[in-house]
């Protein structure tokens, strides 16, 4: 299929992007890597009147350490992130997750910001951001703001981004030395979106478990986190019945997904052990 016709503007500054988005409201869509948006256009599941191309915005690029956080620009390609020494060192959970995203050709164009902004419930990066207790930097018509990952993912493909907002960067707190990270997912074939997945981190005091593919957003499993922090894997697995209530989808029933979630928790537990 081919998309409906649309206008196109390649903006040269963030201010220009914000103005173009404000002018066209819900009729405008940002395009970054296009790896999700272009299929949606072709299938006519999205029909914006205008695409605002942000690929020329240098201020949305770059990976840097800033005040105890690793800042990853929205336009950093997933493939670039995969090769980043800073991410391997300061955000190893993201480094573990990146190779699971589609295939290299997709990661070569797909951006970190595009994945977080789209917030596919089965996507790896939103769950990593949530597990890491990260933040999202946003610029909009009313100025700049920062939203915690815990408050960013609202509902199915719904985030704290409003019409006219540009996701500028994500921030990940630099982990303590005793922080451990675990990542795993179950998909029919490597590169497919996950049927269920888990991004997790744990230090001596606490644990954060973010499941994906089991609800309308990435989900923290807070009862299991508390059990794991006390050192009881069996209790953590048992209380997942209370933390998660996965809906059926075309791949599997909710019951199967809950079983997969428990399997994933057992699978990554050795990675989280001190
Ligand atoms: C065959 C295939 C397999 C895939 N498999 C996976 C997978 O296993 N896991 C996975 O996570 N993803 C997968 N993807 C999606 C891929 O990771 C996309 O790159 C990503 O979801 C979107 O990034 P993008 O830069 O391409 O965004 P785009 O497609 O350009 O945009 C996606 C959405 O985000 C909005 N957006 C983009 N950037 C910004 C910004 N800076 N500020 C505000 N809004 C913005 C756009 O308006 C649009 O609504 C797959 C894609 C394909 C085609």
CA angle 170-173-179, nearest 5°? 130
For residue 1, pLDDT over 80 is answered with no
Query: In whole angstroms, what is the distance from residue 149 CA to residue 126 CA?
Result: 8
Q: Which atom of ligand 1 is nearest to the CA of 187?
A: 8
Out of 3.30.390.50, 1.10.10.10, 3.10.450.50, 3.20.20.140, select the CATH number for domain 194-272: 3.30.390.50
Query: In whole angstroms, what is the distance from residue 117 CA to residue 99 CA?
Result: 19
Cα(266) to ligand 1 centroid in Å equals 30
Domain boundaries, the chain: 7-53, 58-173, 194-272
Kindly indicate whether the domain formed by 58-173 is annotated with CATH number 3.60.20.10. no
- Do residues 184 and 192 touch, judged by C-beta distance below 8 A? no
Burial class (CB in 10 A: 0-12, 13-18, 19+), 160: middle
CA angle 208-137-127, nearest 5°? 30
Kindly indicate whether the domain formed by 7-53 is annotated with CATH number 3.20.20.80. no
pLDDT band for position 251 (cuts 50, 70, 90): confident
Residue bearing the CA closest to ligand 1, atom 47? 30
User: The pTM is what?
Assistant: 0.97
Query: In whole angstroms, what is the distance from residue 52 CA to residue 48 CA?
Result: 10
DSSP annotation of 138 reads E
β-strand partners of 181? 201
Return the closest-CA partner of residue 235 out of 225, 245, 244: 225
Please work out whether the CB of residue 80 comes within 6 Å of at least one atom of ligand 1.
no
Cα(36) to ligand 1 centroid in Å equals 4
Query: In whole angstroms, what is the distance from residue 94 CA to residue 98 CA?
Result: 6
- Residue 262: its H or E element: helix 254-272
For residue 238, pLDDT over 80 is answered with yes
Cα(112) to ligand 1 centroid in Å equals 8
Instruction: Give pLDDT tens digits for 23-68.
Output: 999 999 999 999 999 999 999 999 999 999 999 999 999 999 998 9
Range with the poorest average pLDDT among 14-18, 67-71, 210-214, 270-274: 270-274
Query: In whole angstroms, what is the distance from residue 205 CA to residue 192 CA?
Result: 34
Residue bearing the CA closest to ligand 1, atom 23? 114
What count of other Cβ atoms lies within 10 Å of the Cβ of residue 62? 13
Residue bearing the CA closest to ligand 1, atom 37? 114
Same fold yes or no, 58-173 and 194-272: no
Mutate to test the pocket of ligand 1, among 39, 114, 159, 164 (most ligand atoms within 8 A of CB): 114
Cα(3) to ligand 1 centroid in Å equals 17
Instruction: Give pLDDT tens digits for 103-124.
Output: 999 999 999 999 999 999 999 9
Tokens representing 272 are 């989280």
């Amino acid at each position: 299929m081919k998309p409906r016709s649309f206008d196109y503007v390649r903006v040269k500054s963030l201010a220009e992007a914000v103005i173009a988005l404000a002018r066209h409201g819900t009729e405008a869509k940002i395009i970054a890597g296009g790896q999700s948006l272009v299929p949606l256009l072709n299938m006519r599941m999205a029909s914006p009147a205008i695409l605002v191309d942000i690929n020329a915005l240098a201020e949305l690029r770059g990976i840097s350490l800033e005040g105890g956080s690793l800042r990853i620009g929205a336009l950093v390609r997933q493939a670039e992130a995969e090769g980043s020494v800073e991410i391997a060192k300061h955000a190893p959970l993201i480094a573990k997750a990146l190779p699971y995203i589609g295939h290299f050709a997709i990661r070569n164009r797909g951006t970190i910001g595009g994945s977080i902004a789209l917030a596919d419930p089965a996507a790896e990066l939103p769950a990593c951001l949530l597990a890491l207790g990260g933040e999202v930097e946003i610029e909009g018509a009313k100025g700049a703001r920062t939203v915690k990952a815990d408050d960013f993912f609202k509902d199915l493909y719904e985030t704290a981004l409003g019409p006219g907002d540009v996701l500028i960067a994500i921030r990940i707190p630099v982990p303590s030395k005793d922080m451990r990270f675990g990542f795993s997912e179950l998909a029919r074939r490597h590169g497919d979106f996950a049927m269920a997945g888990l991004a997790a981190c744990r230090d001596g005091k606490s644990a954060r478990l973010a499941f994906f593919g089991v609800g309308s957003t990435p989900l923290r499993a807070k009862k299991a986190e508390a059990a794991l922090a006390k050192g009881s894997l069996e209790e953590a697995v048992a209380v997942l019945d209370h933390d998660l209530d996965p809906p059926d989808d075309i791949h599997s029933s909710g019951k199967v997904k809950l079983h997969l979630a428990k399997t994933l928790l057992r699978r990554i537990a050795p990675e989280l052990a001190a």
